[in-house]
């Protein structure tokens, strides 16, 4: 780096430090009675960014153990954050102060990835967000509409199981080594392509039994390139100097990935528009989500723009593929490390459903032990461990501390779900803790809380329940080489496994006739 650039960087650092010191002095001078949450020691200019490590939710859990369930951080020179790590604190934020915390902080990365901050997941609380939320909950993700999706989910589960059965049958010894995340991601994407866009993946005879279709490979690469930049621990969101120089090309990589994503989505929208214009819309009950949005566009083109439709599709695909596949992957990893639980779940399905047909969506709600497994997976590995960040639009108090307007709120669901005051032996996988209403009254919030709660909860629960139940019913599962599954967590917006799960699957003899008919 040449001397002029060094001088420029040092000058900027000096100005930021000076700005921070003057700001602190100003705040202290204005109100000495303000009681802010406790905070770890900070570094000038950087604040607490030196504490940001992967996975960030685990770092914040350790800090909460030292500084209490409500503490504050300074992210860079000016962004103040409050971290809540207790059930009572979360309830206070999302009940008493739900409106005050209904906003989202708008980061540079979010503006790049979410249509300038206008997408449903990151839009500011107000009329635009309320309209998007209404469209999502009433037109796209209502209980009735999700129920209508069940045949699609079932068909895609059967297709995945059929491919896995063929792989196992063709393998030496009748058992195949499967990388589950890839299979589960393709399943999730296929369900969404069918329900959102009435489109199918381009499987041919040549790739009929591969673990991922061409579309799934493309979209998974897009997600792998986008998600790492959307977490709360993304440093260049807080340090403008990193954006100015973009030393590692992170911004260019994000922009390129977002461009590929938008091309992928626009292709689906254009195909559905052509189908609608050609009179192929058909029964409104069976219309795809894009078809519904295009119908609404004709009535109100100013609101239902192509950009708005693309942004809604982006949120649906982004949340629906990664979180569903990740949750199911963690559930299978837990079951592989606890074979007695896997056998108990299999016995429940055999008793309630039998071995002459596959599990259906209606069966899932009656499989109480399977529901316990899913709840325990959500407790230990919530798909978005810090939720999406909130921002206070007014001064308020949390846990007895003052939270000034404009403060970012991070709710550490990972820590809340492992609170030893609420859960006995919280780090242990114990589905039985949810049996017979024993966990009633304890806070479980993998989809968030309050008015910004994820609207896709019903679809996610139906999808995870059906795919997990079918995998347990159809196959006997073993760990690769008998070695315990590595449960190390990675970081980012979601909570992926650091080592993607591989397992050995063998078709169950009792299900042979059913599998042969698929």
pLDDT tens-digit series, residues 319-364: 999 999 999 999 999 999 999 999 999 999 999 999 999 999 999 9
Question: What angle do helix axes 250-277 and 214-226 make, rounded to 10 degrees?
Answer: 140
Statement: residue 311 has pLDDT above 80: yes
Model pLDDT, residue 281: 57
Statement: residue 68 has pLDDT above 60: yes
Residue 192, judged by CB atoms within 10 A of its CB (0-12, 13-18, 19+), counts as buried
Residue 57, judged by CB atoms within 10 A of its CB (0-12, 13-18, 19+), counts as buried
Contacts of 130 (CB under 8 A, 6+ apart): none
Beta bridge partners of 178: 503
- Quick one: pLDDT band at residue 13, thresholds 50, 70, 90? low
Place of tokens 């303000």: 34
Cα 393 from chain centre: 25
- Quick one: pLDDT band at residue 247, thresholds 50, 70, 90? low
How many Å from the N-terminal Cα to the C-terminal Cα in the chain?
A: 62
HEC profile for 21-73?
HHHHHHHHHHCCCCCCCCCCCCECCCECHHHCCCCHHHHHHHHHHHHCCEEEE
User: Which of 18-22, 295-299, 302-306, 456-460 is predicted least confidently?
Assistant: 18-22
Instruction: Over range 61-74, report the average pLDDT.
Output: 97
Helices then strands (H, E): number in the chain? 18, 9
On whether the pTM is more than 0.75, the answer is yes
Statement: residue 392 has pLDDT above 90: yes
Place of tokens 């566009």: 297
Residue 73, judged by CB atoms within 10 A of its CB (0-12, 13-18, 19+), counts as buried
Q: Where are the alpha helices (DSSP H) in 114-249?
A: 127-134, 143-170, 180-197, 214-226, 240-245
Q: In what order do the strands lie in the sheet with 390-391?
A: 70-75, 79-84, 408-411, 390-391
Instruction: Over range 166-177, report the average pLDDT.
Output: 94
Rounded distance between C-alpha atoms, residue 106 and residue 241, angstroms: 18
Model pLDDT, residue 246: 78
* CA-CA-CA-CA torsion sign (45, 47, 48, 49): negative
Statement: residue 4 has pLDDT above 50: no
- Quick one: pLDDT band at residue 16, thresholds 50, 70, 90? low
More confident residue, 145 or 21: 145
pLDDT tens-digit series, residues 402-429: 999 999 999 999 999 999 999 999 999 9
pLDDT tens-digit series, residues 106-115: 999 999 999 9
Statement: residue 318 has pLDDT above 60: yes
Residue-level length of the chain: 518
Statement: residue 282 has pLDDT above 70: no
Model pLDDT, residue 17: 53
Question: Could you tell me the CA-to-CA distances from 319 to 80, 158, 201, 324, 447 in Å, in that order?
Answer: 27, 23, 19, 8, 11
Statement: residue 21 has pLDDT above 80: no
Instruction: Over range 70-89, report the average pLDDT.
Output: 95
Residue 454 counted as an annotated binding residue: yes
Structure tokens at 447: 């989809």
Model pLDDT, residue 278: 78
Share of the chain above pLDDT 90, in %: 81
Q: Which regions of 317-366 does DSSP assign to beta strands (E)? A: none
- Residues 53, 59 contacting (CB under 8 angstroms): yes
- Quick one: pLDDT band at residue 284, thresholds 50, 70, 90? low
- Quick one: pLDDT band at residue 51, thresholds 50, 70, 90? very high
Closest-CA residue to 348 (of 435, 478, 428, 446) = 435
User: Which of 25-29, 160-164, 350-354, 358-362 is predicted least confidently?
Assistant: 25-29
Cα 379 from chain centre: 14
Q: What is the mean pLDDT of the chain?
A: 91
Statement: residue 241 has pLDDT above 90: no
User: Which of 16-25, 287-296, 300-309 is predicted least confidently?
Assistant: 16-25
Question: Could you tell me the CA-to-CA distances from 492 to 181, 226, 232, 498, 502 in Å, in that order?
Answer: 16, 10, 8, 11, 21
pLDDT tens-digit series, residues 32-43: 578 999 999 999
Instruction: Over range 74-98, report the average pLDDT.
Output: 96
pLDDT tens-digit series, residues 481-492: 999 999 999 988
HEC profile for 471-510?
HHHHEEEEEHHHCCCCCCECCCCCCCECCCCEEEEEECHH
């Amino acid at each position: 780096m040449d001397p002029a650039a060094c001088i420029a960087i040092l000058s900027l650092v000096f100005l930021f430090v000076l700005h921070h010191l003057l700001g602190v002095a100003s705040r202290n001078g204005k109100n000495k009675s303000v009681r802010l949450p406790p905070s770890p020691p900070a570094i000038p200019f950087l604040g607490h960014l030196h504490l940001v490590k992967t996975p960030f939710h685990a770092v914040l859990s350790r800090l909460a153990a030292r500084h209490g369930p409500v503490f504050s951080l300074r992210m860079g020179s000016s962004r103040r954050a409050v971290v809540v790590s207790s059930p009572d604190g979360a309830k206070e934020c999302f009940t008493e102060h739900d409106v005050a915390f209904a906003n989202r902080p708008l980061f540079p990365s979010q503006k790049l990835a979410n249509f300038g901050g206008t997408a449903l997941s990151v839009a500011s609380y107000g009329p635009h967000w309320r309209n998007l939320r209404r469209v999502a909950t009433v037109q796209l993700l209502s209980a009735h509409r999700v129920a209508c999706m069940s045949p699609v989910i079932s068909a895609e589960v059967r297709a995945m199981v059929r491919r896995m059965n063929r792989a196992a049958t063709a393998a030496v010894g009748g058992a195949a080594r499967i990388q589950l995340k890839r299979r589960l991601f393709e399943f999730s994407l296929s369900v969404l392509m069918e329900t959102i866009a009435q489109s199918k993946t381009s499987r041919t005879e040549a790739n009929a039994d591969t673990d991922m279709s061409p579309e799934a490979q493309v979209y998974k690469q897009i997600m792998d390139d986008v998600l790492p930049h959307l977490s709360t621990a993304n440093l260049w969101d807080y340090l403008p100097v990193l954006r100015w120089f973009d030393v590692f090309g992170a911004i260019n990589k994000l922009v390129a990935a977002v461009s590929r994503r938008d091309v992928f989505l626009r292709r689906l929208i254009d195909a559905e528009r052509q189908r609608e214009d050609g009179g192929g819309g058909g029964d409104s009950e069976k219309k795809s989500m894009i078809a519904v949005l295009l119908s609404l566009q004709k009535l109100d083109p100013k609101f239902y723009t192509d950009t708005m439709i693309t942004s809604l599709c982006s949120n649906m695909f982004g949340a629906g593929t990664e979180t569903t596949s990740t949750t199911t992957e963690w559930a299978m990893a837990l079951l592989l490390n606890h074979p007695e639980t896997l056998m108990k779940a299999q016995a429940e399905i055999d008793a309630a459903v039998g071995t002459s047909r596959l599990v259906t969506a209606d069966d899932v709600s009656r499989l109480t032990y399977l529901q316990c497994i899913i709840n325990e997976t959500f407790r230990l590995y919530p798909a978005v461990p810090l939720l999406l960040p909130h921002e206070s639009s007014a001064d308020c108090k949390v846990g007895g501390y003052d939270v000034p307007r404009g403060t970012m709120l991070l709710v550490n669901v990972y820590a809340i779900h492992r609170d030893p005051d609420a859960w006995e032996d919280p780090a242990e996988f114990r589905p039985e803790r949810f049996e017979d209403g024993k966990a009633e009254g304890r806070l479980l919030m993998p989809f968030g809380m309050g008015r910004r709660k994820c609207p896709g909860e019903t679809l996610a629960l139906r999808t995870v329940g059906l795919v997990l139940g079918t995998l347990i019913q159809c196959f006997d599962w073993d760990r690769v080489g008998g070695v315990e599954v590595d449960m190390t967590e990675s970081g980012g917006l979601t909570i992926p496994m650091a080592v993607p799960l591989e397992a050995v699957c063998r078709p169950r003899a009792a299900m042979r006739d059913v599998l042969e008919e698929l």
